[in-house]
Protein backbone atom coordinates (compact mmCIF):
# COMPACT_ATOMS: atom_id res chain seq x y z
CA UNK A 1 0.00 0.00 0.00
CA UNK A 2 1.82 3.09 -1.24
CA UNK A 3 2.13 6.41 0.58
CA UNK A 4 0.82 5.07 3.88
CA UNK A 5 1.84 5.61 7.47
CA UNK A 6 0.64 3.59 10.45
CA UNK A 7 -0.22 4.50 13.98
CA UNK A 8 -0.78 2.22 16.98
CA UNK A 9 -2.90 3.29 19.93
CA UNK A 10 -4.11 1.56 23.10
CA UNK A 11 -7.22 -0.58 23.16
CA UNK A 12 -8.79 -1.10 26.61
CA UNK A 13 -8.48 -4.70 27.72
CA UNK A 14 -6.60 -5.89 24.66
CA UNK A 15 -3.71 -5.41 22.24
CA UNK A 16 -3.16 -2.10 20.46
CA UNK A 17 -5.21 -1.28 17.44
CA UNK A 18 -3.52 -0.53 14.15
CA UNK A 19 -4.69 2.16 11.75
CA UNK A 20 -3.52 2.95 8.24
CA UNK A 21 -3.46 6.58 7.03
CA UNK A 22 -2.58 8.43 3.85
CA UNK A 23 0.17 11.02 4.33
CA UNK A 24 -2.11 13.84 3.16
CA UNK A 25 -5.15 14.93 5.13
CA UNK A 26 -8.26 14.55 2.93
CA UNK A 27 -9.82 17.84 1.82
CA UNK A 28 -11.74 19.06 -1.21
CA UNK A 29 -8.54 20.62 -2.52
CA UNK A 30 -6.68 17.29 -2.39
CA UNK A 31 -9.35 15.29 -4.23
CA UNK A 32 -8.34 13.97 -7.64
CA UNK A 33 -10.46 14.76 -10.69
CA UNK A 34 -10.28 12.51 -13.71
CA UNK A 35 -11.71 13.49 -17.08
CA UNK A 36 -12.89 10.85 -19.54
CA UNK A 37 -14.66 11.09 -22.90
CA UNK A 38 -16.79 8.30 -24.33
CA UNK A 39 -15.83 7.50 -27.91
CA UNK A 40 -18.38 6.43 -30.54
CA UNK A 41 -17.24 2.84 -29.91
CA UNK A 42 -18.27 3.23 -26.24
CA UNK A 43 -21.90 3.94 -27.15
CA UNK A 44 -24.11 1.61 -25.11
CA UNK A 45 -21.43 0.80 -22.53
CA UNK A 46 -22.44 0.85 -18.87
CA UNK A 47 -21.09 3.83 -16.97
CA UNK A 48 -19.58 1.79 -14.10
CA UNK A 49 -17.83 -0.61 -16.46
CA UNK A 50 -16.53 2.23 -18.62
CA UNK A 51 -15.03 4.07 -15.64
CA UNK A 52 -13.53 0.89 -14.13
CA UNK A 53 -11.96 0.00 -17.48
CA UNK A 54 -10.41 3.46 -17.96
CA UNK A 55 -9.37 3.80 -14.29
CA UNK A 56 -7.68 0.43 -13.65
CA UNK A 57 -6.81 1.35 -10.05
CA UNK A 58 -10.54 1.54 -9.22
CA UNK A 59 -12.58 -1.62 -8.78
CA UNK A 60 -16.08 -1.66 -10.16
CA UNK A 61 -17.37 -1.75 -6.58
CA UNK A 62 -15.38 1.40 -5.77
CA UNK A 63 -16.73 3.10 -8.90
CA UNK A 64 -20.28 2.26 -7.83
CA UNK A 65 -19.55 3.78 -4.40
CA UNK A 66 -18.38 6.99 -6.07
CA UNK A 67 -21.49 7.08 -8.27
CA UNK A 68 -23.76 6.57 -5.25
CA UNK A 69 -21.98 9.48 -3.52
CA UNK A 70 -22.61 11.80 -6.48
CA UNK A 71 -18.93 11.96 -7.41
CA UNK A 72 -19.27 10.79 -11.02
CA UNK A 73 -20.65 13.36 -13.47
CA UNK A 74 -21.90 12.96 -17.02
CA UNK A 75 -21.73 16.24 -18.94
CA UNK A 76 -21.62 18.10 -15.63
CA UNK A 77 -24.56 16.35 -13.97
CA UNK A 78 -24.29 13.70 -11.23
CA UNK A 79 -24.95 10.21 -12.58
CA UNK A 80 -27.89 8.50 -10.88
CA UNK A 81 -26.72 4.90 -11.27
CA UNK A 82 -23.89 2.80 -12.64
CA UNK A 83 -26.09 0.99 -15.14
CA UNK A 84 -26.60 4.11 -17.27
CA UNK A 85 -25.63 3.53 -20.91
CA UNK A 86 -23.26 6.02 -22.46
CA UNK A 87 -23.37 7.86 -25.78
CA UNK A 88 -20.34 8.74 -27.83
CA UNK A 89 -19.00 12.20 -27.02
CA UNK A 90 -20.28 12.34 -23.44
CA UNK A 91 -17.82 13.75 -20.92
CA UNK A 92 -17.39 11.86 -17.66
CA UNK A 93 -15.77 13.45 -14.60
CA UNK A 94 -14.70 11.23 -11.71
CA UNK A 95 -13.81 12.71 -8.32
CA UNK A 96 -11.78 10.20 -6.31
CA UNK A 97 -11.82 11.07 -2.61
CA UNK A 98 -9.72 9.66 0.18
CA UNK A 99 -11.31 6.89 2.22
CA UNK A 100 -11.22 7.12 6.02
CA UNK A 101 -8.52 5.02 7.73
CA UNK A 102 -9.28 1.34 8.22
CA UNK A 103 -8.71 0.06 11.75
CA UNK A 104 -8.06 -3.58 12.66
CA UNK A 105 -9.53 -4.14 16.11
CA UNK A 106 -9.34 -7.10 18.46
CA UNK A 107 -12.54 -9.16 18.51
CA UNK A 108 -13.52 -12.23 20.48
CA UNK A 109 -14.04 -14.76 17.68
CA UNK A 110 -13.44 -18.50 18.23
CA UNK A 111 -10.68 -20.05 16.12
CA UNK A 112 -9.96 -23.69 15.31
CA UNK A 113 -6.20 -23.92 15.91
CA UNK A 114 -4.77 -27.00 14.18
CA UNK A 115 -1.12 -26.46 15.11
CA UNK A 116 0.86 -23.92 17.14
CA UNK A 117 4.43 -23.40 18.32
CA UNK A 118 6.52 -20.33 19.23
CA UNK A 119 6.82 -19.22 15.61
CA UNK A 120 3.75 -20.24 13.68
CA UNK A 121 0.07 -21.14 13.92
CA UNK A 122 -2.08 -23.13 11.51
CA UNK A 123 -5.76 -22.18 11.61
CA UNK A 124 -8.72 -24.03 10.13
CA UNK A 125 -10.48 -21.03 8.58
CA UNK A 126 -14.23 -21.30 8.21
CA UNK A 127 -15.96 -20.43 4.94
CA UNK A 128 -17.44 -16.94 5.09
CA UNK A 129 -14.52 -15.45 7.06
CA UNK A 130 -12.37 -12.87 5.30
CA UNK A 131 -8.67 -13.09 6.11
CA UNK A 132 -8.04 -9.38 6.72
CA UNK A 133 -9.83 -6.04 6.78
CA UNK A 134 -10.46 -4.04 3.65
CA UNK A 135 -12.77 -1.36 2.35
CA UNK A 136 -16.31 -2.18 3.46
CA UNK A 137 -15.14 -5.14 5.52
CA UNK A 138 -13.50 -4.21 8.82
CA UNK A 139 -14.99 -6.70 11.26
CA UNK A 140 -15.21 -10.46 11.70
CA UNK A 141 -11.96 -11.19 9.88
CA UNK A 142 -9.25 -13.68 10.76
CA UNK A 143 -6.99 -10.77 11.75
CA UNK A 144 -9.67 -9.46 14.15
CA UNK A 145 -9.86 -12.93 15.70
CA UNK A 146 -6.06 -13.25 15.99
CA UNK A 147 -5.79 -9.84 17.67
CA UNK A 148 -8.55 -10.95 20.04
CA UNK A 149 -6.35 -13.79 21.27
CA UNK A 150 -3.97 -11.16 22.68
CA UNK A 151 -0.84 -12.86 21.37
CA UNK A 152 2.14 -11.57 19.42
CA UNK A 153 1.98 -11.54 15.64
CA UNK A 154 4.53 -10.60 13.02
CA UNK A 155 4.42 -6.95 11.98
CA UNK A 156 6.23 -7.45 8.68
CA UNK A 157 4.38 -6.50 5.52
CA UNK A 158 1.02 -4.76 5.38
CA UNK A 159 0.12 -3.17 8.75
CA UNK A 160 -3.49 -4.30 8.38
CA UNK A 161 -2.40 -7.93 7.98
CA UNK A 162 -0.33 -8.76 11.07
CA UNK A 163 0.82 -12.37 10.93
CA UNK A 164 -0.66 -13.04 7.50
CA UNK A 165 1.74 -14.69 5.04
CA UNK A 166 -0.82 -16.00 2.53
CA UNK A 167 -4.58 -15.91 2.01
CA UNK A 168 -7.62 -18.05 1.35
CA UNK A 169 -10.68 -16.72 -0.46
CA UNK A 170 -13.59 -15.74 1.78
CA UNK A 171 -15.74 -18.74 0.80
CA UNK A 172 -12.83 -21.21 0.90
CA UNK A 173 -12.28 -23.12 4.13
CA UNK A 174 -9.24 -24.92 5.49
CA UNK A 175 -5.63 -24.55 6.55
CA UNK A 176 -4.01 -21.11 6.65
CA UNK A 177 -0.62 -20.29 8.20
CA UNK A 178 0.02 -17.36 10.53
CA UNK A 179 3.48 -16.04 11.51
CA UNK A 180 3.92 -15.08 15.17
CA UNK A 181 7.14 -13.09 14.70
CA UNK A 182 8.98 -11.25 11.95
CA UNK A 183 11.68 -13.91 11.53
CA UNK A 184 9.05 -16.59 10.94
CA UNK A 185 7.20 -14.28 8.56
CA UNK A 186 10.35 -13.78 6.48
CA UNK A 187 11.14 -17.51 6.34
CA UNK A 188 7.60 -18.53 5.45
CA UNK A 189 7.30 -15.75 2.89
CA UNK A 190 10.47 -16.95 1.19
CA UNK A 191 9.20 -20.56 1.29
CA UNK A 192 6.03 -19.49 -0.53
CA UNK A 193 8.07 -17.58 -3.11
CA UNK A 194 10.31 -20.62 -3.64
CA UNK A 195 7.20 -22.85 -3.87
CA UNK A 196 8.46 -24.97 -1.00
CA UNK A 197 5.04 -24.97 0.71
CA UNK A 198 2.91 -27.97 -0.30
CA UNK A 199 -0.78 -27.07 -0.64
CA UNK A 200 -3.54 -29.61 -1.30
CA UNK A 201 -7.22 -28.79 -1.80
CA UNK A 202 -10.42 -30.78 -2.21
CA UNK A 203 -12.90 -29.39 -4.73
CA UNK A 204 -16.13 -30.45 -6.37
CA UNK A 205 -16.43 -29.23 -9.95
CA UNK A 206 -19.29 -29.31 -12.41
CA UNK A 207 -19.25 -31.87 -15.18
CA UNK A 208 -17.40 -35.14 -15.71
CA UNK A 209 -13.69 -34.58 -16.26
CA UNK A 210 -12.53 -36.62 -19.23
CA UNK A 211 -9.18 -37.65 -17.75
CA UNK A 212 -8.22 -39.20 -14.41
CA UNK A 213 -5.65 -36.49 -13.75
CA UNK A 214 -4.16 -33.45 -15.40
CA UNK A 215 -2.18 -30.25 -15.23
CA UNK A 216 -3.51 -26.77 -15.96
CA UNK A 217 -0.93 -24.20 -17.05
CA UNK A 218 -2.69 -20.97 -17.92
CA UNK A 219 -1.42 -17.51 -17.00
CA UNK A 220 -3.78 -15.53 -14.75
CA UNK A 221 -4.40 -11.79 -14.57
CA UNK A 222 -7.06 -9.23 -13.73
CA UNK A 223 -10.14 -9.38 -15.95
CA UNK A 224 -10.05 -6.23 -18.12
CA UNK A 225 -13.83 -5.76 -17.83
CA UNK A 226 -14.90 -7.20 -14.47
CA UNK A 227 -12.27 -5.86 -12.08
CA UNK A 228 -13.26 -8.12 -9.17
CA UNK A 229 -12.55 -11.20 -11.29
CA UNK A 230 -9.40 -12.85 -12.49
CA UNK A 231 -9.17 -14.56 -15.85
CA UNK A 232 -6.86 -16.57 -18.08
CA UNK A 233 -5.45 -15.55 -21.43
CA UNK A 234 -7.58 -18.31 -22.97
CA UNK A 235 -10.83 -16.72 -21.77
CA UNK A 236 -9.98 -13.03 -22.21
CA UNK A 237 -8.67 -12.79 -25.76
CA UNK A 238 -11.98 -11.33 -26.97
CA UNK A 239 -12.41 -9.03 -23.95
CA UNK A 240 -9.15 -7.11 -23.95
CA UNK A 241 -5.59 -7.60 -22.81
CA UNK A 242 -4.89 -8.96 -19.33
CA UNK A 243 -2.76 -6.60 -17.28
CA UNK A 244 0.42 -8.32 -16.08
CA UNK A 245 -0.57 -11.99 -16.55
CA UNK A 246 1.39 -14.30 -14.24
CA UNK A 247 2.21 -17.93 -14.79
CA UNK A 248 0.02 -20.36 -12.86
CA UNK A 249 0.18 -24.15 -12.54
CA UNK A 250 -2.43 -26.46 -11.04
CA UNK A 251 -2.26 -30.27 -10.82
CA UNK A 252 -5.42 -32.27 -10.22
CA UNK A 253 -6.56 -35.86 -9.73
CA UNK A 254 -10.13 -37.11 -10.01
CA UNK A 255 -11.24 -38.88 -6.83
CA UNK A 256 -14.81 -39.76 -7.79
CA UNK A 257 -17.54 -38.88 -10.26
CA UNK A 258 -20.98 -38.18 -8.84
CA UNK A 259 -23.70 -37.56 -11.37
CA UNK A 260 -22.70 -34.47 -13.35
CA UNK A 261 -19.91 -33.49 -10.92
CA UNK A 262 -16.36 -34.62 -10.22
CA UNK A 263 -14.63 -34.65 -6.83
CA UNK A 264 -10.98 -33.68 -7.28
CA UNK A 265 -7.78 -33.42 -5.27
CA UNK A 266 -5.88 -30.30 -6.32
CA UNK A 267 -2.23 -29.39 -5.76
CA UNK A 268 -1.07 -25.82 -6.30
CA UNK A 269 2.42 -25.02 -7.55
CA UNK A 270 1.73 -21.28 -7.68
CA UNK A 271 -0.55 -19.16 -5.53
CA UNK A 272 -2.39 -16.74 -7.79
CA UNK A 273 -5.61 -15.02 -6.73
CA UNK A 274 -8.60 -17.36 -7.25
CA UNK A 275 -6.25 -19.78 -9.05
CA UNK A 276 -8.21 -23.04 -8.66
CA UNK A 277 -11.52 -21.34 -9.38
CA UNK A 278 -10.19 -19.55 -12.46
CA UNK A 279 -8.40 -22.59 -13.87
CA UNK A 280 -11.35 -24.96 -13.59
CA UNK A 281 -13.70 -22.29 -14.93
CA UNK A 282 -11.39 -21.98 -17.95
CA UNK A 283 -11.85 -25.72 -18.52
CA UNK A 284 -15.64 -25.21 -18.35
CA UNK A 285 -15.74 -27.18 -15.09
CA UNK A 286 -16.31 -24.40 -12.51
CA UNK A 287 -16.21 -25.13 -8.78
CA UNK A 288 -19.67 -25.97 -7.45
CA UNK A 289 -21.21 -23.01 -5.61
CA UNK A 290 -18.89 -20.41 -7.13
CA UNK A 291 -21.03 -17.34 -7.79
CA UNK A 292 -18.18 -15.38 -9.37
CA UNK A 293 -17.01 -17.89 -11.95
CA UNK A 294 -20.21 -19.42 -13.22
CA UNK A 295 -21.42 -22.28 -11.00
CA UNK A 296 -23.89 -20.63 -8.67
CA UNK A 297 -27.05 -22.43 -9.77
CA UNK A 298 -28.70 -25.56 -8.43
CA UNK A 299 -27.43 -29.00 -9.35
CA UNK A 300 -29.82 -31.29 -11.21
CA UNK A 301 -29.44 -35.06 -11.23
CA UNK A 302 -32.15 -36.55 -13.37
CA UNK A 303 -35.44 -35.31 -11.96
CA UNK A 304 -33.92 -34.30 -8.63
CA UNK A 305 -32.66 -30.83 -7.80
CA UNK A 306 -30.19 -30.27 -4.98
CA UNK A 307 -30.43 -27.06 -2.93
CA UNK A 308 -27.70 -24.49 -3.46
CA UNK A 309 -24.60 -25.05 -1.38
CA UNK A 310 -24.27 -21.42 -0.26
CA UNK A 311 -20.46 -21.40 -0.57
CA UNK A 312 -17.70 -22.65 -2.84
CA UNK A 313 -17.01 -26.37 -2.66
CA UNK A 314 -13.31 -25.68 -2.16
CA UNK A 315 -11.37 -26.69 0.95
CA UNK A 316 -7.67 -26.28 1.79
CA UNK A 317 -7.31 -29.77 3.20
CA UNK A 318 -3.57 -30.14 3.73
CA UNK A 319 -0.53 -27.89 4.01
CA UNK A 320 3.09 -28.95 4.48
CA UNK A 321 5.91 -26.58 5.45
CA UNK A 322 9.34 -26.46 7.06
CA UNK A 323 9.24 -25.09 10.61
CA UNK A 324 10.90 -21.67 10.18
CA UNK A 325 13.32 -22.04 13.09
CA UNK A 326 14.26 -25.75 13.05
CA UNK A 327 13.53 -26.76 9.46
CA UNK A 328 11.52 -29.78 10.63
CA UNK A 329 8.81 -30.75 8.13
CA UNK A 330 5.29 -30.23 9.45
CA UNK A 331 2.10 -31.34 7.74
CA UNK A 332 -1.24 -29.99 8.91
CA UNK A 333 -4.64 -31.32 7.84
CA UNK A 334 -8.13 -29.87 8.13
CA UNK A 335 -10.99 -32.34 7.79
CA UNK A 336 -13.75 -31.61 5.30
CA UNK A 337 -16.31 -29.34 7.03
CA UNK A 338 -19.75 -30.66 7.93
CA UNK A 339 -21.60 -28.61 5.29
CA UNK A 340 -19.46 -30.11 2.52
CA UNK A 341 -19.82 -33.65 3.86
CA UNK A 342 -23.59 -33.19 4.08
CA UNK A 343 -23.70 -31.88 0.51
CA UNK A 344 -21.79 -34.94 -0.71
CA UNK A 345 -24.24 -37.19 1.12
CA UNK A 346 -27.18 -35.52 -0.63
CA UNK A 347 -25.34 -35.85 -3.92
CA UNK A 348 -24.72 -39.57 -3.30
CA UNK A 349 -28.39 -40.11 -2.46
CA UNK A 350 -29.52 -38.27 -5.59
CA UNK A 351 -27.04 -40.15 -7.80
CA UNK A 352 -27.82 -43.52 -6.22
CA UNK A 353 -24.22 -43.96 -5.10
CA UNK A 354 -23.19 -45.52 -1.76
CA UNK A 355 -21.68 -43.09 0.74
CA UNK A 356 -18.90 -45.61 1.38
CA UNK A 357 -17.53 -44.94 -2.11
CA UNK A 358 -16.99 -41.26 -1.31
CA UNK A 359 -15.61 -42.06 2.14
CA UNK A 360 -13.01 -44.30 0.50
CA UNK A 361 -12.12 -41.64 -2.08
CA UNK A 362 -11.65 -39.07 0.69
CA UNK A 363 -9.63 -41.27 3.01
CA UNK A 364 -7.46 -38.98 5.12
CA UNK A 365 -9.64 -35.92 4.51
CA UNK A 366 -12.71 -36.82 6.61
- Is position 290 annotated as part of the catalytic site? no
pLDDT in tens, 160-183: 788 999 999 999 999 999 999 999
pLDDT in tens, 301-338: 766 777 788 899 999 999 999 999 999 999 999 999 99
pLDDT in tens, 271-306: 999 999 999 999 999 999 998 998 666 777 766 777
What pLDDT score does 128 carry? 93
CATH class of 28-96: alpha beta
Q: For domain 103-193, give its CATH number from 3.30.2350.10, 3.40.50.300, 3.30.60.50, 3.50.50.60.
A: 3.30.2350.10
Domain boundaries, the chain: 28-96, 103-193, 198-361
Q: What percent of the chain has pLDDT over 90?
A: 58
Q: How far is CA 289 from CA 169, 308, 353, in A?
A: 13, 7, 21
Residue in 48, 119, 169, 223 annotated catalytic: 169
Among 51-55, 243-247, 336-340, top mean pLDDT goes to 336-340
Q: Is 360 helix (H, G, I), strand (E, B) or coil?
A: helix
Average pLDDT, the chain: 85
Query: How many H-runs (helices) and E-runs (strands) does the chain carry?
Result: 8, 21
What pLDDT score does 156 carry? 75
Per-residue pLDDT at 19 exceeds 90: no
Domains 28-96 and 198-361 share a fold: no
Per-residue pLDDT at 263 exceeds 60: yes
- What stretches of the chain show up as alpha helix (H) in DSSP? 47-54, 60-68, 142-148, 182-193, 233-236, 275-282, 338-351, 355-361
Is the domain spanning 198-361 CATH 3.40.50.300? The answer is no
180: region left, alpha or beta (phi > 0 left; psi from -120 to 50 alpha): alpha
Q: What percent of the chain has pLDDT over 70?
A: 85
What pLDDT score does 301 carry? 72
Rounded CA-CA distance 275/281 in Å is: 10
What pLDDT score does 90 carry? 96
Q: Is 351 helix (H, G, I), strand (E, B) or coil?
A: helix
pLDDT in tens, 86-106: 999 999 999 987 766 667 788
DSSP symbol at 249: E
Which residues lie closer than 8 Å to 12 by C-beta, 6 or more apart?
A: none
Amino acid sequence: MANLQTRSFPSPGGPPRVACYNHRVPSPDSAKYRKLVASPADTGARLDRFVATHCPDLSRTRVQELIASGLVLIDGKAASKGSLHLRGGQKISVQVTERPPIVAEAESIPLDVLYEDDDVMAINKAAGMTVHAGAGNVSGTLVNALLGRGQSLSQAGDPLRPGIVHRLDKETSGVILVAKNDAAHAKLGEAFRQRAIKKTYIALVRGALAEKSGRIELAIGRDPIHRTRMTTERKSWHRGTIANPREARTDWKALAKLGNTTLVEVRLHTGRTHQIRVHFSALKHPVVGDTLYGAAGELRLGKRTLPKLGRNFLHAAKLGFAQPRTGAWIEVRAVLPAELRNFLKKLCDAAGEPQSRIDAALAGYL
